[in-house]
Structure 1
Amino acid sequence: MYTILLGDDNQLTVSVEERIMQQSKLVDNLHFLVEPVYKEQDMSGFTCLMEYLPPVSKRYKSEILSLSDKPYKGMLEYKLPFDTNLTAEAGDVAVQLTFYKVEMEADGTGIKRVRHTQATNIRVLPISAWSDIIPDEALTALDQRMIAMQALTNQLVEANQNLASSKADGLLYNEGRLQLKAGDKAIGNTVQIVDSGSDPEDGTIRVVEF
């Protein structure tokens, strides 16, 4: 389990690092451990938002993290499965947490509390990294061939998992918009469906009833 600790200094520190491969889906978990009290504030009463930037597209994304029912070794525990949203791009995914809490005093005055953390990186390895494994020349010829074969097998297995998690297996239709889907996730471009009396714009399909 890939584990990140948050202390009183607002630094996110990776304490347990695992090998996360590109396009991994619902196999590994991202695990945050947070000190339960910060500057006399009970952090269990805050909403925890994980914000992250993929290494290539740099498109801002976020996830609300759910607090586990029981503490983990005296720490607040938040878990998030590594889905293809996090592992779609190989490289360093920049991650930070933001905590929010809104309270109201007896006189109706609203108090907004916000805590930000420093960012840390989660390394996502490309599937092709298996190809970079070169057998030690000191090994026997048979050992070298076996290691090369094992690396190739692992690469093919992960490539197959990647294909299974991203191939289209159906269609989504909502309010005149048609899109491919893989599992529950929409993929590809959206196509706008218009009626036969409209002039189709770019990216639309004219529907003719008969």
Structure 2
Amino acid sequence: MTEDESGIDNPYTPEKKQNRKEWFFEQVEDEHGDRVLLPDGGNETQHLYEDLMGCFINGQFVACVILSASIIEHLLVLELGFTDFSYPEKEPTLGRAIGDAEDAGIVTEDTSDLYWLNNTRNGYVHFRDGRTGDSPTMEQMQEMDLGEFNPNRIGEDDARRAIKIAIRQQARHWEDFHKAMDEELDMNELYEQRRG
């Protein structure tokens, strides 16, 4: 373990960066196999993925949570565009997009990870003073022995979980897209079948 003078594990060593790079590509391979990860959602989503990988490798863990949530929001809103859900005034928040994607038959698996990511992202993006219990750092500090508290560990654990969720949702999207093509359905027809 590499520690700086304060005794906190240093996430910025070349070895740690290489380990994170390998871990990232293992996650992609586990979910996508030999398919190339080509995110839908336009250039913005591609840039988000590139930044996600770079931020994770370089130890910017909170950015990874925010970027992962943004990627999922792009995917869900893109997919909701194939359905009867419409948002005449503005695009939905991530929380609303998750709920609407469930209702539309887009997301059929347990959504607790998606809601965890939404809430964790909100805890980092919006001010939380810790008294309300919805601050990611405060919640995790309360579960730990303060003598073992390591702020880098909290951020990295959240980043790894967020990245897995984003990569899994991209894989789900690609599977849906290819299933619709194979069965000669448009995406809304596929989602309608799921809704029964």
Q: TM-score, normalization: structure 1?
A: 0.24
Q: Which has the higher contact order (CA 8 A, sep 6+)?
A: 2
Judging by fraction of residues, say which structure has more helix: 2
TM-score by length of 2: 0.25
Larger radius of gyration: 1
